[in-house]
Structure 1
Amino acid sequence: MSKMMKAQVVEAPYKMTLKEVPVPEITDDEVLIKIKYCGICGSDWSIFTGKYVPEKLPLITGHEFFGTVAEAGKNAKGIHIGDRVSADIVINCGTCYYCRHGDGLLCESFEQIGISTKDLPGGFAEYIKVPWKNVYHVPDEVDDYKAAFVEPLTTAIQASRNMDCNIAGSVVIIGSGLGIIHGCLAKLRGAAPIIVIDGNKDRLKMAKEMCADYIIDFTETPDTVAEVKRLTGGIGADYVLEAVGNPRTYEQAFQMVRRGGKVESFGICKETDQMSISPYQFVLHEKRVSGSCAGIGNDWGDAIKLLQYNRIDPTPLISMIVPLEELESALKEIQENKKLVKVLVSPEIKERIILEN
Structure 2
Amino acid sequence: MPGPLQRLNDLVTTGRLEPDPAQIVVARALDELSRRLERWRPGNNLLTRLRANGTAAPAGLYIHGGIGGGKTMLMDLFFEGVRFSPRRRLHFHEFMAEVHDLIAAARAAVDGDPIPSVARRIAREARLLCFDELHVTDIADAMILGRLFKGMFESQVVVVCTSNVPPSELYRNGLNRQLFLPFLDLIGERMTVLELAAAKDFRLAKLAGRDLYFTPLGATADYRIREVFERLTGQAKGAALELPVRSRKLLIPEAAMGVARFHFSDLCEKPLGAADYLHIAHAFHTVLIEGVPRLTPARRNEARRLINLVDTLYDNRVCLVVSADAEPHELYPTGDGARLFERTASRLIEMRSAAYLASRLDRLPPSAGPLATGAVMPAAGARTARR
Do the two structures share a fold, i.e. TM-score over 0.5?
Answer: no
User: Where is the strand percentage greater, Structure 1 or Structure 2?
Assistant: 1
TM-score by length of 1: 0.29
Give the structure with the larger helix fraction. Answer: 2
> TM-score, length-normalised on structure 2?
0.28
